């Protein structure tokens, strides 16, 4: 269970410039989501990333990344570890492979149903023991067969439809696009979480698209409909919404 923030801007910018006073809100959320943090940003040619297993509010590198991680596309992640999974850097998001950085909020039962979605060569690149990293590799495996991120996510969500996961919510960046996926099963949400905990919101402000988990920004934004995927290309100034 985690908090996510992503952006797509026509000009290179830092998360802190976009969040403004909400930077303090995000940092404050790390008192609960305290099992590590990570960031990724892209200048179009390369994805840069950083991750630590310490809470964001205790980290000097968090402030540096928020204000100096400049890119047209970027992600921030606060981790609240799934029960039983260790707090270490390799279990911390974002996960980066093949020019894609990926973050996830939710939990997925680990086992054959998830593992069988991963190509053997990608399975050999596993660094940690999280369901989230396996989910990412399952999507990359599906991309190989479909050539399309929306179709790949549709296949993975469908393949996992019988499993007891509360959320497959995810964000990712490539060198040119931001993607945001909303996919939840409310019946599996923990009873002590707010009903809107897994909502993802997005807004376009001054040609920049931002997406975030509940509590990250003061702005209300628009709720991304469940089982929908948003793709944003900031240089083309375009965004597409796909139903899965």
Average pLDDT on 141-156 reads 93
Q: Report residue 219's pLDDT band, with 50, 70 and 90 as the boundaries.
A: confident
- What share of the chain in percent tops pLDDT 70? 100
- Nearest in space to 157 (alpha carbons), one of 125, 121, 114: 114
Exposed, middle or buried: residue 151 (CB in 10 Å: 0-12, 13-18, 19+)?
Answer: middle
> Which band of pLDDT confidence, cut at 50, 70 and 90, is reported for residue 171?
very high
- Report which of 70, 72, 54, 73 is spatially closest to residue 62, judged by C-alpha positions: 54
pLDDT score at 191: 87
Read off the pLDDT band of 13 (50, 70, 90): very high
Distance in angstroms (rounded) separating the CA atoms of residues 176 and 43: 9
**Cα three-residue angle 111-112-115, rounded to 5 degrees:** 85
Q: CB within 8 A of 84, min separation 6: which ones?
A: none
For the chain, give the number of residues.
Answer: 244
Contact 42, 173 (CB under 8 A): yes
- Work out the average pLDDT over 153-163: 94
pLDDT bin (cut points 50, 70, 90) of residue 44 is: confident
Question: In the prediction, which pLDDT does 18 show?
Answer: 97
| CATH code (residue 237) | 3.60.20.10
pLDDT at 86 over 90: no
CB 181 within 8 A of CB 168: yes
Q: Structural domain tally of the chain?
A: 1
Expressed as residue numbers, the domain containing 218 is: 2-243
Q: How confident is the model at residue 186 (pLDDT cuts 50, 70, 90)?
A: very high
pLDDT of residue 124: 96
């Amino acid at each position: 269970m985690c908090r996510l923030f992503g952006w797509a801007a026509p000009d290179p910018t830092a998360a802190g410039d976009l969040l403004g006073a909400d930077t303090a809100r995000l940092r404050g959320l790390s008192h609960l989501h305290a099992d590590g943090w990570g960031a990724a940003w892209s200048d179009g040619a390369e994805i840069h990333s950083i991750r630590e297993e310490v809470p964001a509010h205790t980290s000097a590198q968090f402030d540096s990344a928020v204000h100096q991680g400049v890119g047209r596309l970027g992600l921030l992640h606060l981790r609240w570890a799934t029960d039983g999974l260790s707090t270490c850097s390799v279990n911390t998001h974002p996960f980066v492979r093949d020019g894609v950085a990926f973050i996830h909020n939710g939990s997925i039962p680990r086992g054959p149903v998830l593992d069988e979605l991963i190509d053997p060569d990608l399975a050999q690149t596993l660094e940690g023991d999280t369901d989230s990293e396996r989910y990412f590799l399952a999507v990359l495996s599906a991309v190989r067969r479909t050539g399309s991120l929306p179709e790949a996510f549709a296949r993975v969500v469908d393949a996992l439809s019988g499993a007891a996961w509360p959320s497959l919510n995810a964000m990712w960046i490539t060198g040119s696009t931001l993607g945001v996926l909303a996919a939840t099963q409310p019946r599996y949400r923990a009873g002590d979480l707010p009903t809107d905990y897994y909502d993802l919101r997005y807004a376009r402000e001054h040609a920049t698209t931002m997406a975030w988990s509940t509590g990250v920004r003061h702005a209300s934004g628009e709720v991304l409909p469940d089982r929908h995927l948003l793709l944003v290309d900031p240089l083309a100034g375009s965004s597409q919404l796909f139903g899965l």
